[in-house]
A and B are shown apart, each in its own frame.
Chain A
Amino acid sequence: KQEVTQIPAALSVPEGENLVLNCSFTDSAIYNLQWFRQDPGKGLTSLLLIQSSQREQTSGRLNASLDKSSGRSTLYIAASQPGDSATYLCAADYGQNFVFGPGTRLSVLP
């Protein structure tokens, strides 16, 4: 069964810290991996998408890496800000079937 896990489940850091969120997937036959942000009571906002042939993608203070062979992706957030507080989800694309991780709830304290 294809499963996606995320570590840690929750994280609280002071403003300005650099941090890493982890995503693991059991089946490495992915087409791509996508990172999302979800604010309470809201929909999902796409942050980064990494194609299976790529190793990493960057957008502003965010950098996501992908290691298909080990079944892992990491999201690096530089110089965290209170506005980064949200739940971060990763999703593995297996062609038509998307499998989501349970998310990491991030709190950035002023």
Chain B
Amino acid sequence: EAQVTQNPRYLITVTGKKLTVTCSQNMNHEYMSWYRQDPGLGLRQIYYSMNVEVTDKGDVPEGYKVSRKEKRNFPLILESPSPNQTSLYFCASSRWGYEQYFGPGTRLTVT
């Protein structure tokens, strides 16, 4: 089954404790992206990757890091999480210029 998976689905952590949210796709898509969704602000792009070893900033990259060492994986790293990073995070993938497929989301709470 074609899908985008994210782990964990739910995470509660404390300020400053490094964490990684994993994202994996099995569709051999070149393009992958991370978004955060906040009430009243909608979905905003954090980082995206056009292919292996190629990443770039979206609209809200501050406080986040990504890497793309393999085509199927695109982890999101929060080196020192803060409460303003409490949000619902989505990973997505696509072939270039085609429809995006989204993961189920990761709900992160930083206390």
Contacts and interface: CB of A to CB of B under 8 A. Distances in A.
B104 A42 contact: yes
| Interface SS majority for chain B | strand
Interface string B17-47: 0000000000000010101000000111100
B97 A31 contact: yes
B75 interface: no
B59 A97 contact: yes
| Interface SS majority for chain A | strand
Interface in B48-82: 48, 50, 56, 58-59
B99 interface: yes
Given A91-B100, A98-B33, 11 more contacts: A32-B97, A43-B90, A44-B90, A44-B102, A46-B102, A96-B31, A96-B50, A97-B48, A98-B45, A99-B45, A100-B42
Interface of A: 31-32, 34, 36, 41-46, 49, 51, 89, 91, 93, 96-103
